[in-house]
Every structure is written in structure tokens, then in C-alpha cells.
Structure 1
């Protein structure tokens, strides 16, 4: 199979028939063998009924329905697990991503040997204040922190080799950072393509300003995991040693000053009246806690189990 198109969605009943027709037209024109995997992330409208109707009419259409809303990352994870194509295309269901971009993305992966190609919505039709400006700030921070120099991490239109999506773990809200996850997994040839961004035709955006706050928090998480996820003691242990050194030096300084004053006949104060005593005590306690955090991290890492992150209520053609 040439292409698997993975489409997570939430309450997009108006867009689905038009999107399906558009994709089929592109696939037929280029004579691709394909599958379309819709992942209904707990829609409360008629989205699932439309997916079932499309799947009855077109065996290339497959569907997964979540019991409730679990988030885009979980939807992509479920779609990636079922995708069988040589190239996997992800796109949003709101018609803002153009299926006409698929052939170029496919060729960049297959003919130019990119592991991953990310879309770049250079010209956007979103609100400049609530979406464009925060998005630019977010992308700048992501580039600086991750070392992956893409202009648009948030673009849902991406193309992957099958081996890439089978070897990365998309969890939490990490869908924005799939290129970073791919790089950390050893897939370093990451490309970018300017793609058409269309104004939303139906409904309203499902994303608010909170996604950018969550995005920055996820960025910190992925930075930490990429460097210390397999060796948490290296971070917490080093910080603990630093705290212990500060504590021991402070304690030593207090003792030396106390002895000098005693032998010199100067009046001395109680150790507990010296501010350095509390600095030494506090840093040694913090050092102990950091060591314990490192040990706990190592234990959890070695004993963690793969927990179920979402529940599927129905499937079609899968």
C-alpha cells in the first residue's frame, strides 16, 4: 500500500464528506493505493455516523471511535498503530489542510528519502492576535530548545516513513513534537514544505490559548526526557551532590570560625544563631531529596508498565 492517511477529528460532521471526496479524487488521479483512517476522538455530533456511512460506501475508509475525548496525541497513536502504508500522511479534518499537497509530500519521502516532512503554513488565515503571534513565539522556543529547525511545529499536515511512526511513542500532548521525537529516535532527515492553509469552512476551532501554555510545558517535558529520560539519576544526582557540597562547605566554615574564636578567646554565639547553619541544613535536606528523586526515577523507569491510555468503543474496516 502506498499511502495511509491518518485523520484525528472532533465534531467535524460537516467537513467529513467533502474531505473524503477530495482525498479520493487526489488518490485516484495519481493512481495511489491508499487507506483513510478516521479517528473520532469522542465527538458528540454525527461524525461517527458519517464515518460509518463512508466506510460502507468505500472500503478504503477505516474508522476508530474513542469512548470519550482523549486528545489528538492519543488519536494519532491509535491511527499510527493501524496504518499500513509505506508513507503515512497526517492531516486535520477541518478542510484547512489541502489533500492536493499529498503527492508532493509523498514524493519527498519516497524519492528524496526524507524520514519526515512537515508542512509549513507560511500564509495563515487565523486570527493574528490569538493564534498567529503565539504560534510564532511557540515555534521560536521549540526550535531553540529542541534543535529541530522547523518553522511550523503545529501544522497537522505531515508525511512520515512507516518505520518512523512505528518507532516513536506519541503520548500526552506530544503531537506537536513528533519531529523532535523522531530525531531523538534516530531519524534525522527531516524536511519542510510550504503548504496551502485554507480558512475554516465549517464550525469553530477546537483549540484555545491554553494549547500554547500546554505546548510550552510539553516542550520542557520533552527536553528533559530527551536528555535524562533514560538516566534520571544523572540530573537529580548531580544536583544532589551540588547541594551536599554547599552544605558541607557551610558546615565546615561554621566549625572553623567557631574553633578560631574559641582558641582566640573571642566571645562566640550558638551555632543555631548563625545563618549559615540553616543554609547548611537546608541544602543537605534538599540534596537528600534530590538523591531520592533520582533513585525513584530509576526504579520507575525499570518497573513501568504500558498502561492503557485510551479506550476504543467501535471500529470499522479494521
Structure 2
């Protein structure tokens, strides 16, 4: 199979017939073999009923329905697991992403060697309250990840080589940083394509202001996991050893100063009466705790077995 189109959705009953018909026309025009994987993230409207009707007239459509809302990352992760195409395309269900971009995305993967191609909505039809924070997060992400050629990490329209989606894990709110996850997994040929962005035709956005706070926290998680997931002791252990040594050096200095004062017969303050003593004691305790944290993290690192277990209600 040439292409798998993974579409996460939540309450998009109006747009689904138009979107699937649009994808079908593009695939037929370019003679691609394809599948559309619709992942219903716990919709409360008629989305699933419409999907069942669409399935009757198009055998290329398959769908997964979550029993409740888990979020876009969960929907993408399950869609990636189900995808069989050589190239996996993701797009939102709100008709703001254009299926007409698919042939060029496919070509960039299959013929130009890209592992991942991320869309860039150079001209956006979103309010400033959404575009300005997005630009800030993109700048921060570029700086922390070292992926300097991407302008829009969070664009829903992306293309992946099949190996990429089968070797990465998306959870929490990490869908914003899939290029970063792919880079840490060893897929370094990450490219960008300017794509058409359309105004929302139906419904309202499903993302509120809180996504920016969650996004920043997830970026820190991505940075830590990418750097230290396999070696957490290198993070906690280094800080712990430094803190412990600072405290130990201060303590030894105070003890030596007391012994020298005794030998010289000069007045001196007791070690425990000096503020430096409590500073050193705190540093030693924090250092020990950080070192033990690193040791325990080494023991449990990457051993979670249920992080991506989701309750799926139906599969067609």
C-alpha cells in the first residue's frame, strides 16, 4: 500500500464527508493505493455514525473509536500502530489542511529521501491569540531541539516514512513535538514543506489556552527523555555529585579552620554556630537525594508497560 492517511478527530460530523471525498479524489487522480484511518477521540456528536455510513461506500476507510476523550497524541499513536502504508500522512479533520498537498509530501518521502516532512502554514487563518504563542513555542523548540529548519512543529499536516511511525511513541501532549521525538529516535532527515492553510469551515477549535502551558512542560519532558531516558544517572547523578562535593568541601573547610584555630590558640566559633555549616549540610543532603533519584530512575527507566493502553470501544 502506498499511503496511509491518519485523521484524529473530535466532534467533526460536518467535515468528515467532505474530507474523505476530497482525499479519495486526490488518491484516484494520482493512482495511489491508500487507506484512511479515522480515529474518533471520544466524539459526542454524530461523527461515529457518519463514519459508519462512509465506510459502507468506501472500503478504503477504517476507523477506531475511543470510549472517551484521550487527546490527539493518543489518537495519533493508535493510528500509527494501525497504519500499513509506505508513507503515513497525518492531517486534521477540520478541513484546514488540504489533501492536495499529499502527492508532493509522498514524493518528498519516497523520492527525495526525507524521513519526515512537516507542513508549514506560512499564511495562517487563525487569531493572534493563537499565532503569537505558537511562534514563541516554535522558536523555543528550535533552540532546544536543534531542528532549525522547521517553522511550525505543531502543523497537523505531516508525512512520515513508515519506519518512523513504527519506531516512535506519542503520548500525553507530545504530538506537538513529533519531529523532536523522531530526531531522538535517529531519524534525522527532517524537511519542511509550505502548505495551504484554510479557514475553519465547520465547528470550533478543540484546543484552549491551557495547551501552551502543557506544551512547554511537554517540551521539557521531550528534552529530558531524549537526552537522558537511557541514562538518567547522567542527569541526576552529576547534579547530586556536584552538590555533595560542594557541601563536603565547605564542611572540611570549617573543620580545618577550627583545628587550626585550636592549634594556634586563637578564639573560634563552634562549627555548628556558623551559617556555612547549615549550607554545607543542606548541599550534602540534596546531593545524596539527587544521586539516589538517579539510581532509582536507572532501575525503572523505560519499563512502563501501560503508558499507551487506551480503551477502544469499536473498530471497523
| TM-score where L is the length of structure 2 | 0.97
Aligned runs of 1:5-20 on 2, under 5 Å?
A: 5-20=5-20
How far apart in 2 are the matches of 1:23 and 1:302? 38
- Cα gap change, 1:307 to 1:119, in 2 (>3 Å): closer
Shift of 1:240: 0.9
1:174 aligns with 2:171: no
Shift of 1:246: 0.6
1:52 aligns with 2:52: yes
When the two chains are superposed, the root-mean-square deviation of aligned CA atoms in Å is 1.1
Which residue is equivalent to 1:64? 64
How far apart in 2 are the matches of 1:189 and 1:308? 27
How far apart in 2 are the matches of 1:240 and 1:26? 57
2:109–2:117 CA contact under 8 A, matched in 1: yes
1:145 aligns with 2:144: yes
1:36–1:60 CA contact under 8 A, matched in 2: yes
Shift of 1:303: 4.4
How far apart in 2 are the matches of 1:204 and 1:247? 56
How far apart in 1 are the matches of 2:201 and 2:193? 23
Structure 1: 5+ residue runs without aligned partners? none
Greater mean deviation of Cα atoms: 210-219 or 4-13: 210-219
Which residue is equivalent to 2:297? 297
How far apart in 2 are the matches of 1:101 and 1:308? 30
Aligned runs of 1:260-275 on 2, under 5 Å?
A: 260-275=260-275
1:89–1:102 CA contact under 8 A, matched in 2: yes
Runs of 4+ aligned structure 1 residues displaced above 6 Å come to none
1:164 aligns with 2:164: yes
Shift of 1:309: 2.9
1:233 aligns with 2:233: yes
| TM-score where L is the length of structure 1 | 0.97
Structure 2: 5+ residue runs without aligned partners? none
Aligned runs of 1:277-316 on 2, under 5 Å?
A: 277-301=277-301, 303-316=303-316
How far apart in 1 are the matches of 2:242 and 2:290? 10
Determine helix, strand or coil for the equivalent of 1:313. Answer: strand
1:135 aligns with 2:134: yes
1:210 aligns with 2:181: no
1:74–1:309 CA contact under 8 A, matched in 2: no
Determine helix, strand or coil for the equivalent of 1:192. Answer: strand
Shift of 1:169: 1.0
How far apart in 1 are the matches of 2:124 and 2:308? 37
Which residue is equivalent to 1:197? 197
How far apart in 1 are the matches of 2:34 and 2:191? 23
Q: CA offsets, 1:257-284, max 9 Å, x none?
A: 1112222222222222101110111011
